[in-house]
Amino acid sequence: MILFTQDLCRMQAVPTNATFLLCVNCAIGVSFATAFISCRRHVNSRLPVWCAAGFLSASFTALVEVVAPLGLPSALISFISYAMLITALTCIVSGLVDHLCQEKLFIPIFLRSFYVVALIWHPAVLLHANRDSLLHSFGYQVPFGIICTTGGIICWQHRQSTWNRVVSLILAATAVQFMAKSALAYFISTGKSVDTYAYSTYASVSQAAGAVLSIGLGIALLAMILFEALTRHLQASQHDFLSGILNRYGFLQWLADNRDLTEKNSYYLAVCDLDRFKDINDTFGHSAGDEVIRRTALFLKDACNHGVVARFGGEEFVMLYQAGSERSAWAEADRIRNGLCSTNLKIGTAEAQVTISIGLTQWRHMERLDDVVCRADSALYRAKGAGRNRVELS
């Protein structure tokens, strides 16, 4: 205990930039691990868990190197530090593989196999190599570079968003950093032993670069996860939960995004309403009614594949499509109506014929949506009053 206290006092009496940076890197790892665990509750992905494990492992790497001068066995310190860092990088890249390319089974197999080989590589080869030798300098850093390169390639191949590209570039920069550290370690030395590593110039440079890249990678990964979660929530808010097609908000958003398109071309709005839908609910039950809604939505989406289909609520749908004239617009709506009523929907062991009434109107230049819908609704009421299962044009 006395010797441990003396060593601790001696370490505190000779502060170095590297020791401080090691503590900073430890704090960075713990902070990002906490952040990833916190956001796990809000995303439907295991990537935050993988990232949290990776950054926590990285923090242990820095922590082990901080306590190295306290007289612990050098071989043990060296192996734990190496193993924790290779574990950290493997966890992060494995999370990216699991998140981005689940269908490619050979990549996880490669990562796990490489991880095992890298762990064996240290005690089998590196511990017996001279610390300042070319074998030790490159043999220690190259495995880290290979894993980072693998992760960078995977992200670049699945660059659905800007943040995927950023993560890819940071992983590539991290791989380059590890390769540069190999040469740096060979030319300026990493210290005579693990115990003196924290007092070397190499440690200061290495830990400073590691801190910058760790912060960049952590922020980029968090941004990628949160951006994807936000995109999924936005898509969910614009789609009807029951039928899967656009809801009213999604339809309005589509119109806002395609305003020029609707103003420059001749579009027609069809308001569709299922006939006697209450009778279906009363006869077959509400579950059957939900199934009719789903089947009808899918039919309308397939039948009006060159237009936009949305569910406005209840049993009411809208279709927006382009047509050259009122006659062709009416013919298109009637084709869809006839196709639905010609198809008997199977509900459990029974079959039901589903029909729709459609109110159709042209979207005039610079006209407000409410005015168009109001006119289409008037045509729909006429279709209902005239016996249902028909198309009325306004």
pLDDT tens digits for range 248-294: 999 998 888 887 776 667 899 999 999 988 888 888 888 888 888 99
pLDDT given at position 352: 76
- As a whole number, mean pLDDT of residues 338-346 equals 83
Three-state SS at 193: coil
- pLDDT of 14 reads 43
Q: Distance between CA 315 and CA 295 in Å, rounded?
A: 12
How far apart are alpha carbons 195 and 204 in whole angstroms? Answer: 15
Confidence class of residue 297 from pLDDT cuts 50, 70 and 90? very high
Q: How high is the pLDDT of residue 195?
A: 64
Query: How far, in Å, CA of 76 to CA of 120, rounded?
Result: 14
Mean pLDDT of 201-227: 91
Q: Is the pLDDT of residue 67 over 90?
A: no
Radius of gyration of the chain (CA): 32
How far apart (Å, rounded) are the C-alpha atoms in residues 293 and 321? 21
Collapsed DSSP state (helix, strand, coil) of residue 322: strand
pLDDT at residue 127, as a whole number:
85
Stretch 353-367: mean pLDDT: 89
Q: Predicted confidence band at 18 (pLDDT cuts at 50, 70, 90)?
A: confident
**Tokens 């924790």, residue located:** 84
Distance (Å, rounded) from C-alpha 91 to C-alpha 55?
9
| pLDDT higher at 293 or 67 | 293
Q: What is the pLDDT of residues 112-155, one digit of tens each?
A: 999 999 999 999 998 888 877 888 889 999 999 999 999 999 99
- Taking residues 198-208, report their average pLDDT: 81
Strand, coil or helix: 10 = helix
Mean pLDDT for 337-354 is: 79
Planar angle of CA 62, 67, 71, nearest 5 degrees? 145
pLDDT (mean) for 378-390: 92
pLDDT band at 193 (very low <50, low <70, confident <90, very high): low
pLDDT greater at residue 41 or residue 334? 334
Alpha-carbon distance of 146 to 166, in angstroms, equals 18
From CA 372, how far away is CA 361, in angstroms rounded?
7
Q: Report the pLDDT value the prediction gives residue 236, as an integer from 0 to 100.
A: 85
Task: Indicate whether 170 pLDDT > 60.
Answer: yes
Lowest pLDDT segment from 240-244, 281-285, 371-375:
281-285
Q: Determine the pLDDT at residue 103.
A: 64
What pLDDT score does 228 carry?
87
Residue 264 pLDDT = 66
Measured at the CA of 83, the angle between CA 77 and CA 89, to 5 degrees, comes to 135
Q: Are 163 and 211 in contact (CB under 8 A)?
A: no
- Percent of the residues in the chain that have a pLDDT greater than 70, as a whole number: 91
pLDDT for position 9: 42
- Residue of 41 and 330 predicted with greater confidence: 330
Report the alpha-carbon distance of residue 153 to residue 382 in Å, rounded.
60
**Domains of the chain (ranges, CATH numbers):** 2-236 (1.20.1070.10), 248-393 (3.30.70.270)
Question: What is the C-alpha separation between 258 and 361, in angstroms, rounded?
Answer: 19
Provide the edge-to-edge strand list for the sheet that holds 356-363.
Answer: 308-313, 316-322, 267-274, 356-363, 391-393
More confident residue, 8 or 90: 90
Average pLDDT of the residues in 35-43 = 88
Q: Rounded to an integer, what is the distance from CA 358 to the centroid of its chain?
A: 40
The model's confidence at residue 44, banded by pLDDT at 50, 70 and 90, is confident
pTM score of the predicted model: 0.75
Structure tokens at 235: 């898509």
Give the confidence band of 364 by pLDDT, cuts at 50, 70, 90: confident
CA 293, distance to chain mean position in Å, is 30
Average pLDDT, the chain: 86
